[in-house]
Amino acid sequence: MLLSALLTSVGINLGLCFLFFTLYSILRKQPSNVTVYGPRLVKKDGKSQQSNEFNLERLLPTAGWVKRALEPTNDEILSNLGLDALVFIRVFVFSIRVFSFASVVGIFILLPVNYMGTEFEEFFDLPKKSMDNFSISNVNDGSNKLWIHFCAIYIFTAVVCSLLYYEHKYILTKRIAHLYSSKPQPQEFTVLVSGVPLVSGNSISETVENFFREYHSSSYLSHIVVHRTDKLKVLMNDAEKLYKKLTRVKSGSISRQKSRWGGFLGMFGNNVDVVDHYQKKLDKLEDDMRLKQSLLAGEEVPAAFVSFRTRHGAAIATNIQQGIDPTQWLTEAAPEPEDVHWPFFTASFVRRWISNVVVLVAFVALLILYIVPVVLVQGLANLHQLETWFPFLKGILNMKIVSQVITGYLPSLIFQLFLLIVPPIMLLLSSMQGFISHSQIEKSACIKLLIFTVWNSFFANVLSGSALYRVNVFLEPKTIPRVLAAAVPAQASFFVSYVVTSGWTGLSSEILRLVPLLWSFITKLFGKEDDKEFEVPSTPFCQEIPRILFFGLLGITYFFLSPLILPFLLVYYCLGYIIYRNQVTEPISLLSIILC
């Protein structure tokens, strides 16, 4: 790839970033968008405080949100959003420190050495230079200049280890202080027991109580057996939504007509009062739930939440095998009450094992399947391969602007579009593995997404772009290191474009919240937004953490191979630090803007 093609990609993404930031600075000031850009503010104070008076300042883009995003301290973030949010922000801080040092060394020392590796070349007509001129492949084999790269690697490793030590020490201190300052929680004294064996003549509740009174008599306190509630789930959800809707109508937090038609779809029948109509529907749902609960009272599940008098007793029960059969009396730490994932409480050990095998096979199949779009993307990045596949496009591909857009911007954009559906698939696969908490599902999905990203975005791209067409090289194992050593630097241009497209533009779309914004507009245009129960969206840790780690892998790999990628990575981490701090502090800054 020529440097001009890379600059084309950078220019397109810079324009998109500027457009997103401009739109965000305007749209965030509009009272009608407070549910999109200030969800925690709406959840806490409602929408009754909004001021709809016209204000010219709301139509002008400003950058004051950047200053307000940097004002809160780490202690304020810890107290408001917890330890997870602080650690997430500190990951960006650590990455900024690492790649600030790497950028200085890479750009001012390694890049000139690589550029003048073969012979002295003047810095003229740079846009027509190939990206290979800035990589280590431009240095001759056995050159004395390679000692500069080796020294830089050792120094960079020492700096990274030092920064990692101090960052880990800081997080550990904050974590210990957070644990000491927090109040004891019920889940800390509770253990989830599954695989309870069936004993003739005893119920599951009696079996659990007899077992733990015999083997944990000094610390056992009580237990609650899990019951099968699948048939109640729909009724419970309907009743909860109806109750919250009725509460909002009575409190006057939303505006609604006083009466409506009581017949089919609210279009026929007698004219009835809305409050009375909702109240009667809620009473009927409550009666149906009581009836279902009485019918399902005896359907126990072989699982129970067992509570102990001390944390020590709960820890002992969690970490030792309870019975001779390892498939029975399985214990694990209980999740928080609002974090429980119920579907797999009825699953046996064998069913969970089968589910894990099925998920593993599906995950491996997905890894293999996604090689197809990777090969397609690399074909776009390599005009010679593209002309071989589609000879009739040779005339169009020879046009300068077309070739720059195709090789510089289009491959990373298409690859990013293919990756959009991967996070929901990983969450679906993880939910099928038998985890009993949503946090465990997200952690498993995060690990899967990281493996998928490293394989398909790094190794598959490297192999398909430079070495896959040389299949015979794998028949001679001695030549593999030499081929890969040339293949990895050759893909530096694609990864730079990928960082700019996925990183810069992706973060910009995150702050604009384009999908929630469009959904809010559609619901206001075609539906009644007040009928929906408002929920605060969670921070996308599952999607963003694998991308952060993958970009860190790219930076460490290409630090000495092709240091031109380092400034783009540094910009990404700086943008991420500002944007996610803004997501944390946005309700505070929005309150003063909307009420003015």
Position with higher pLDDT, 102 vs 499: 102
Averaged pLDDT score across all residues of the chain: 76
pLDDT band at 588 (very low <50, low <70, confident <90, very high): very low
Q: Are strands 271-273 and 259-261 parallel, antiparallel or unpaired?
A: antiparallel
Q: Report whether pLDDT(125) > 60.
A: no
Residue 131 burial (CB count, 10 A): 23
Q: Report whether pLDDT(170) > 90.
A: yes
**DSSP-H helix ranges across 106-145:** 111-115
Q: Report whether pLDDT(475) > 50.
A: yes
Q: Report whether pLDDT(315) > 80.
A: yes
pTM of the predicted model over 0.85: no
Domain ranges of the chain: 3-180+352-595, 186-348
Position with higher pLDDT, 531 vs 153: 153
Q: Report whether pLDDT(292) > 80.
A: no
Q: Which of 230-244, 260-274, 291-305 has the lowest mean pLDDT?
A: 260-274
Per-residue pLDDT, averaged over 103-131, amounts to 71
pLDDT band at 267 (very low <50, low <70, confident <90, very high): very low
| Side-chain-side CA neighbours of residue 481 (13 Å) | 1
Question: At residue 448, what is the residue type?
Answer: K
Return the pLDDT at 592: 43
Per-residue pLDDT, averaged over 481-510, amounts to 77
Q: Which of 188-197, 382-391, 482-491 has the lowest mean pLDDT?
A: 382-391
**Is 99 in contact with 566 (CB distance < 8 Å)?**
yes
DSSP 516-572: HHHHHHHHHHHS-GGGSPP-PPPP-HHHHHHHHHHHHHHHHHHHHH-GGGHHHHHHH
Q: Give the three-state DSSP class for 222.
A: strand
Return the pLDDT at 595: 42
